[in-house]
Amino acid sequence: QLSANFYDKSCPNALPTIRIAVRSAIARENRMGASLLRLHFHDCFVNGCDGSVLLDDTPTFTGEKTAAPNNNSLRGFDVIDNIKAHIEGICPQVVSCADILAVAARESVVALGGPTWVVQLGRRDSTTASLDTANNDIPAPTFDLGDLTKSFSNKGLSATDMIALSGAHTIGQARCVNFRNRIYSETNIDTSLATSLKSNCPNTTGDNNISPLDASTPYAFDNFYYKNLLNKKGVLHSDQQLFNGGSADSQTTTYSSNMATFFTDFSAAMVKMGNINPITGSSGQIRKNCRKVN
Ligand code: HEM
Ligand SMILES: [Ca+2]
Ligand SMILES: [Ca+2]
């Protein structure tokens, strides 16, 4: 039901407005592209791509922002607010927050040198959120290959999609708490990477200290994530699962030497992820403010 030209008549400047705002946000802070891409993922995996992740908690409403994978971790909400305010100024209550997330994710990838794809549009915004689903359905960095594959298949995405989408970790940062066990206790990690990560991730403190997921090119959307995995330089336990003697090894090896194939598969998988359970028709709403139900 989604379509690429959904706003062509109702808000022709929506997409250029998002592109310009994303580019200027990344120019202000180079990490922001990664943060915006991740917001769309954490939206789509919880009740579908419906903007649920953007809703603030209130005394009478429980949102998703305090879920374990999101708390002290998701960022970029202010950038989405700014984009939404601009678009409300040109076309009031036409463009959903869920669609803004989908387009901002694409523009972030493109701005950092990655592939482009046609974003399907027409998602509407939820009036609900689910803390429990955010806690249960977003894959954890402690997962092994089987659990990673299952969490994606639960959303209609294949193992191929999972391996390609994980390439998003070619950009962005992770907190010490999410890779401490790996660098202190696991053996399938390059010794020099473990040593260098330990300097900013002590054994018992510094949970929120950050390090790049791709130490080689943290601000370029390229295939270094997979090259790193071949060298046991995955930062998260879950990352290294994609090259650990199992069924993901051959696809990871292909991507490590063939960036075009990675880009093609990543783009296709982003479209599939963006199609997870959208709200369309007259269900849901177009929020005026992405942080709250109208
Ligand atoms: C395969 C399962 C996945 C797991 C277990 C996982 C886990 C994580 C974790 C633990 C972090 C660091 C968060 C923190 O320390 O605060 C992270 C960051 C990130 N993830 Fe994933 N992720 C997965 C898949 C994805 C997918 C599918 C995407 C997007 C398509 C994605 C995009 C990102 C980005 C861009 C960052 C960096 C964000 C920033 O710097 O603000 N991840 N992920
Ligand atoms: Ca959602
Ligand atoms: Ca990179």
How much distance in Å is there from the Cα of 50 to the middle of ligand 2?
5
Which ligand lies nearest to the CA atom of residue 131 in the structure?
Answer: 2
Angle (nearest 5°) at CA 214 between 213 and 218:
100
The per-residue pLDDT for 228 is 98
ipTM: 1.00
Residue reference for tokens 């002590």? 202
Over the range 107-121, which residues count as b (16 or more CB within 10 Å of their CB) and which as e?
bbbbbbebbebebbb
Same domain as 214, residue 133 = no
- Distance separating alpha carbons of residues 12 and 5, to the nearest angstrom: 9
What range defines the domain where residue 40 resides?
Answer: 14-138
Structural domain includes residue 173: yes
Collapsing DSSP states into helix, strand and coil, what is residue 176? helix
Residue of 45, 169, 180 best suited for mutating to test ligand 1, as the one with most atoms within 8 Å of CB: 169
Residue 1 banded pLDDT, cuts 50, 70, 90: confident
Residue pair 73/79 in contact (Cβ under 8 Å)? The answer is no
Q: Is the pLDDT of residue 178 over 90?
A: yes
Quick: pLDDT tens for 104-128. Answer: 999 999 999 999 999 999 999 999 9
Residue reference for tokens 């200027």? 24
Same domain as 170, residue 216 = yes
What would the mean pLDDT of 173-200 be, rounded to a whole number?
A: 98
* Residue 43 among known ligand-binding residues: yes
Quick: pLDDT tens for 44-87. Answer: 999 999 999 999 999 999 999 999 999 999 999 999 999 999 99
**How many structural domains compose the chain?**
2
Q: Work out the mean pLDDT of the chain and round it to a whole number.
A: 98
Which ligand lies nearest to the CA atom of residue 277 in the structure?
Answer: 2
Share of the chain above pLDDT 90, in %: 100
Structural domain includes residue 129: yes
Q: Where are the alpha helices (DSSP H) in 168-223?
A: 180-185, 191-198
- 210 pairs with which residues across the strands? 175
The per-residue pLDDT for 80 is 99
Residue identifier of the C-alpha nearest atom 8 of ligand 1: 141
Collapsing DSSP states into helix, strand and coil, what is residue 3? strand
Same domain as 86, residue 124 = yes
Residue identifier of the C-alpha nearest atom 23 of ligand 1: 166
Token representation of residue 270 = 């982003």
Residues bordering ligand 2, an ion, CB closer than 5 Å: 43, 46-47, 50, 52
- Distance separating alpha carbons of residues 63 and 68, to the nearest angstrom: 12
Instruction: Count CB neighbours of 198 within 10 A.
Output: 14
Same domain as 223, residue 175 = yes
Q: Is the pLDDT of residue 168 over 90?
A: yes
Pocket around ligand 1 at a 6 A CB cut-off: 31, 34-35, 37-38, 41, 73, 75, 139-141, 143, 148, 162, 165-166, 168-169, 171-175, 178, 236, 238
* Residue 125 among known ligand-binding residues: no
Residue pair 237/181 in contact (Cβ under 8 Å)? The answer is yes
Quick: pLDDT tens for 223-261. Answer: 999 999 999 999 999 999 999 999 999 999 999 999 999
Extended beta strands in 132-278, E state: 173-175, 210-212
Residue whose C-alpha is closest to residue 137's, from 227, 48, 9: 48
Residue pair 200/177 in contact (Cβ under 8 Å)? The answer is no
Among 40, 42, 86, 237, the one annotated catalytic: 42
Verify whether residue 86 is a known catalytic residue: no
* Domain-terminating residue out of 104, 138, 172: 138
The per-residue pLDDT for 186 is 98
CATH number at residue 110: 1.10.520.10
CATH number at residue 156: 1.10.420.10
Share of the chain above pLDDT 70, in %: 100
